[in-house]
Amino acid sequence: MVYYKTDEEIELLRQSNLVVCKALALVGSMIRPGISGAEIDKAAEELIRDHGASPSFKGYQGFPGSLCVSVNDQVVHGIPTKDQIFEDGDIISVDCGAYLNGFHGDSAFTFPVGEVSEEVMELCRVTNTSLYKAVDAAVVGNRLGDIGFVVQQYVEREYSYGIVRELVGHGIGKELHEAPEVPNYGKRGRGAKLKHGLVIAIEPMVNLGRKEVRTEQDGWTVYAKDRQPSAHYEHSVAVLKTGTITLSDHSLIEEELEKNENVQFVGVKAEMA
């Protein structure tokens, strides 16, 4: 069952997502070779709690972290640890959720560490751009398949990357994961119609190589079966008659990345606007 949100609920969702993006911006300011997943996880959790919110992921089905921290060939759901030391040339996919005033925010960004190969930087840029193309397709009157179609068309047809099929975007609100599922592949004009008040998290997960994934023995970490790098960007958006609103604000992250000498800039928002 899809829960359509009122204007008041959408404002609360925007506030939850603001906390999420402040936490991701803090992560963006910290990213450098030598720092660990545990360090960014601790800093993000403190920021979330300082805002009177709680980390959505911590304890979710037993997940131990406040962030999901997925390095290189890890796609999503990586567990942040102190042994997970970031190295020059890595890409770090960081997914964050925050629960505030009864509603969850959810957003993700892939950060390059130091000097990353042009091939992998392009994977990040294309995945990020595919997210904005998907957001542009998430309008009243379109269908869920239209969102997946534009991602698949761009990422698989134009770039021959692999889109992960096993994990998808989702409705978001009082629950972290609500109906409907939002696949990153699909056919134009298929699937449920997007109606006023729908709030969804759109999150393309794109593999440099093949689309197949596996899960580590820890029961959480999803990785690319061919062990090639993978990128992940996510926005929570509200679909409204007056136009779709992006509730998560990556400009906060992009501002920190521009200041951080240890990170090559991968923002695309300015280009797309």
Interacting residue ranges for Mg ion, rule: CB under 5 A? 95, 106, 108, 201, 234
Phi, psi of 142 (to 5 degrees): -75, 175
Q: DSSP assignment of 156-171, as one string?
A: IIIT--EE-SS--EEE
Least distance CB 121 / Mg ion (angstroms):
22
Sequence-separated (6 or more) residues with CB below 8 Å from residue 273: none
> Crossing angle of helices 7-30/251-259, nearest 10°?
10
Least distance CB 253 / Mg ion (angstroms):
14
Least distance CB 97 / Mg ion (angstroms):
6
Q: Would you tell me how many other CB atoms lie within 10 Å of the CB of residue 187?
A: 12
Least distance CB 33 / Mg ion (angstroms):
25
Q: Would you tell me how many other CB atoms lie within 10 Å of the CB of residue 239?
A: 23
Q: What radius of gyration, in Å, describes the C-alpha atoms of the chain? A: 17
Compare residues 43 and 262 and give the one whose CB is closer to Mg ion.
43
Residue 219: which region, alpha, beta or left (left: phi > 0; alpha: psi -120 to 50)?
Answer: left
Q: DSSP assignment of 21-45, as one string?
A: HHHHHHHHHH--TT-BHHHHHHHHH
Compare residues 84 and 184 and give the one whose CB is closer to Mg ion.
184
Least distance CB 66 / Mg ion (angstroms):
12
Q: Two tokens at 10?
A: 């959408």
Least distance CB 188 / Mg ion (angstroms):
24
Compare residues 31 and 199 and give the one whose CB is closer to Mg ion.
199
